[in-house]
Amino acid sequence: MRIERNFSKFNNMPIEHTRSFGKLIIKEAFTAMKKTSLSSYCNHALFALLALLFATCVFCFGCNSGSDSQQTPAPASATPAPTEAPTATPVPEPVRKLTSFDTSLLPELHPFGQSGALACQNDYENKKTTFTTVDIVSDSVIKSVTIGGNWSVSDEIFPDDTFAAFNVDENEWILFDADLNQKKRFEVETIYGQFSHDLTEYYFLKDYVLCSMNIETGKVSPVEAAFNLRFNSLVDIHPTEDKLFLDAFLSPDTMICGTTLLDLDSNSFSMISSDSFIPHFTEDSDVYFFKYNTDAGGYDVTYSADGSFVFADASLLPGGETELYPVPYSDCIVTSGDSPALFRLGSALECCDLTQYGIEHELLTQCFIPNIGGIIAVSYVESQFEFNLISPSVLDYSVIDGTEPAESMLTVNEYIAEDYWSAVNGSSLPEDLQGVRSRADEISEKYGVRILLSSQCLPACTFAEYPTTTTDQMNLADEAASINAALDSLEEALSLYPEGFFPQFRSEFGDGGIRIMLVGGFESNFNMIGYSVQSSLWHNIYVDIFSEGLVGTYCHEIWHATEDHITSINPGEFDVVQWSELNPDGFQYIFDPAESILNEGDYTYFGPTKPKDCYFIDGYAKTNEREDRARIMEYAMTGFFGSELSEYPHLYAKLRYMSDKIRQYFDTTGWNTPRWEDALGE
């Protein structure tokens, strides 16, 4: 059969159709070849080749015909353009010295731009700070600006090359743009906070509650996160996402914390652990956790790599006097000392001895530059600072054997929050104590304190300074009656204080304040009947309910809480030197309660001393300044002095001093003459 090959019909076909038709034939030809078995491949080869040749002609013909074509054919005489060989990416040097930085001052370093770094250098003597941007690739200064005051730069990385600097003395932040111009300058309650990555919110802790401040309006609000935890510190923030590591309190009675990871977008936790770690993020969103190993005298590290976790115990890393310094947002750790090493955390734990590259002095500060994958490390060499760019990807490492697979660290222990609030509010009590529990609640509500009874005191007593027995451990014939009698004395004591006095011990969010533990006794060598201790938000008062003079004991311990509240506002109050001026010349406190109670002699109210020579209530008041003041307030509140205290000028001066401090630091609006000022005759 003869077949006529007529190509003329393609001449007038629109160019896009011509191309499509040619592509279709090419596609069909390759499809036929792919579907052909090896045994019949030869039978179809000629057809496939002819089809490919025909399609190529059609495709090329269509591309070069028609007046609408946007392609201009090359002239027949044109010579083909030379083909350039692809440029290979240069391999970085393992260590390269940088010469553009000011070598006279130790800097804080921060990534900047695509291949740059920002140096923040303080001249403390002249109270000024210089910010300099340097291009690392060309090793040249981009720009430098000097401002007044001593400023530091935050580790946080923002998407538009904004960076944030803070002044600790002024609680002030400045946001700079890429040209080192000041975008915004504002004050905050504390500079120990973190910004959201879009720079709309500033996160910080206030009274152990995580809060956010809107940068534009200045409005402060608590972050409504799951579990309602209380925090001791902000630790680290993710380099690109609003995820924050925080230390959370495990108990209201200690400063012991666990590690948490909070997603600020969803206000949910991806980690709540009862263990306390030093956590860090890496550029690739991996995490690693340090934990001090007391037995080994060094740090264990658990880290994520390639989707799983790896554990390296302290024996694999330097310990003792050698410190480990994580390089922020990288997977590298450097060591202290004049023989520094760099550890890289990956599927294998690797170590590089940096002395082989000429780095033979301690690394004082380091900064990871993400876009070039390098670390700027600063040492002090021959009376000036030396800057080196380390490229971890091309260093010579040795692999450290002994790492082990580990379970994911990113787990949530929901019981931590439950245990915390159970310790704050008290666990449930048996039916026979429900009556006294209800009465304690009424007293608590009326005066603004919190009262715990029986087994509810156990969590706090676990961490008590002195071994403490709770009433449920005493096999009492009628525990409820004993507690009820103690509540009588407590209510009498609380009624002696001005209205609104106790709520002022609470935080702005209603947390904390005075918490009174009604217990059965203590183990001590000086017949102790009560004591108090400040822990985070709470001032815990422990009282032996079977001791005599309970009203005075409550007032004694409430003074300790009052003094602690004042010094929490201003630690400089109750200055030792000022107070010593109210004591006899050359007097020294004994600082041993067991010994001081035997020293009733000179200068005491209950001793043979004449009123004008009386400085202390009794021997116990000679223990220390705090017990001296608490003893005076105890007797003033119980009306012991009546109106005769003016006859004891030195005791009068001490109470006057204490009263003035209360007036200075408490809101006295609506107060009548407080009970303690009755003793002053006012």
105 close to 125: Cβ distance less than 8 angstroms = no
Q: Which two tokens stand for residue 291?
A: 């934990």
Helices (H), 477-549: 479-494
299 close to 316: Cβ distance less than 8 angstroms = no
Q: What is the pLDDT of residue 598?
A: 67
Of 148-152, 310-314, 586-590, minimum mean pLDDT range: 586-590
pLDDT (tens digit, 9 = 90+) per residue, 225-261? 999 999 999 999 999 999 999 999 999 988 899 999 9
pLDDT (tens digit, 9 = 90+) per residue, 47-106? 333 333 333 333 333 433 333 333 333 334 444 444 444 444 567 899 999 999 999 999
Q: The sheet that has 95-98: what strands, in order across it? A: 95-98, 384-390, 374-381, 363-369
- Strands 287-293 and 513-519 turn out to be unpaired
Residue 486 phi/psi, 5-degree rounding, is -65, -35
Q: How far apart are CA 506 and CA 446, in angstroms?
A: 15
Instruction: Give me the mean pLDDT over the 278-288 stretch.
Output: 91
Q: How far apart are CA 199 and CA 662, in angstroms?
A: 41
Instruction: Give me the mean pLDDT over the 120-128 stretch.
Output: 95
> Could you tell me the CA-to-CA distances from 625 to 301, 603, 654 in Å, in that order?
45, 15, 11
176 close to 151: Cβ distance less than 8 angstroms = no
Q: What is the pLDDT of residue 319?
A: 79
Q: How far apart are CA 273 and CA 279, in angstroms?
A: 12
Q: Which two tokens stand for residue 621?
A: 């008041």
507 close to 537: Cβ distance less than 8 angstroms = yes
Task: Name 299's Cβ contacts closer than 8 Å, sequence gap at least 6.
Answer: 278, 290, 291, 292, 293, 314, 317, 319, 324
Q: How far apart are CA 373 and CA 343, in angstroms?
A: 15
Q: Which two tokens stand for residue 519?
A: 């217990």
- Provide the residue ranges of all domains of the chain, joining segments of one domain with +: 8-62, 107-187, 190-276, 278-408, 426-553, 570-682
Share of the chain above pLDDT 90, in %: 74
Q: What is the pLDDT of residue 47?
A: 36
Q: Does pLDDT of 28 surpass 60?
A: no
Mean pLDDT, the chain, as a whole number? Answer: 86
pLDDT (tens digit, 9 = 90+) per residue, 552-601? 999 999 999 999 999 999 999 999 999 999 999 999 998 888 787 666 67
Phi/psi class of residue 593: alpha, beta or left (left: φ > 0; alpha: ψ in -120 to 50)?
alpha
- For every residue of 177-196, DSSP letters joined together read -TTS-EEEEEE-S-S--EE-
32 against 371, higher pLDDT: 371
What confidence tier does 441 reach under pLDDT thresholds 50, 70, 90? very high
455 close to 468: Cβ distance less than 8 angstroms = no
Q: Does pLDDT of 368 surpass 90?
A: yes
Of 463-477, 518-532, 604-618, minimum mean pLDDT range: 604-618
- How many Cα atoms within 13 Å fall on the side-chain side of residue 332? 26
Residue with tokens 């009424």: 442
Q: What is the pLDDT of residue 644?
A: 78
Q: Does pLDDT of 17 surpass 80?
A: no
43 against 471, higher pLDDT: 471
Q: What is the pLDDT of residue 110?
A: 95
Q: What is the pLDDT of residue 447?
A: 97
Q: What is the pLDDT of residue 90?
A: 66
Task: Name 268's Cβ contacts closer than 8 Å, sequence gap at least 6.
Answer: 225, 226, 262
Instruction: Give me the mean pLDDT over the 106-122 stretch.
Output: 94
pLDDT (tens digit, 9 = 90+) per residue, 326-363? 999 999 999 998 899 999 999 899 999 999 999 999 99
Instruction: Give me the mean pLDDT over the 413-435 stretch.
Output: 94
Rounded CA Rg of the chain: 38
Q: Does pLDDT of 34 surpass 80?
A: no
- For every residue of 14-37, DSSP letters joined together read -HHHHHHHHHHHHHHHHHHHHHS-
620 close to 596: Cβ distance less than 8 angstroms = yes
651 close to 615: Cβ distance less than 8 angstroms = yes
Q: Does pLDDT of 396 surpass 80?
A: yes
Q: Does pLDDT of 402 surpass 60?
A: yes
30 against 527, higher pLDDT: 527
What is the dotted CATH code of the domain comprising 107-187? 2.40.10.480
* Amino acid identity for residue 43 in this structure: N
Q: How far apart are CA 379 and CA 347, in angstroms?
A: 30
Q: Helix (H, G, I), strand (E, B), or coil: what is residue 583?
A: coil
Q: Helix (H, G, I), strand (E, B), or coil: what is residue 586?
A: coil
> Could you tell me the CA-to-CA distances from 344 to 239, 249, 314, 341 in Å, in that order?
19, 32, 15, 10
Q: Does pLDDT of 38 surpass 80?
A: no
Q: How far apart are CA 436 and CA 441, in angstroms?
A: 9
349 close to 310: Cβ distance less than 8 angstroms = yes
456 close to 426: Cβ distance less than 8 angstroms = yes
165 close to 174: Cβ distance less than 8 angstroms = yes
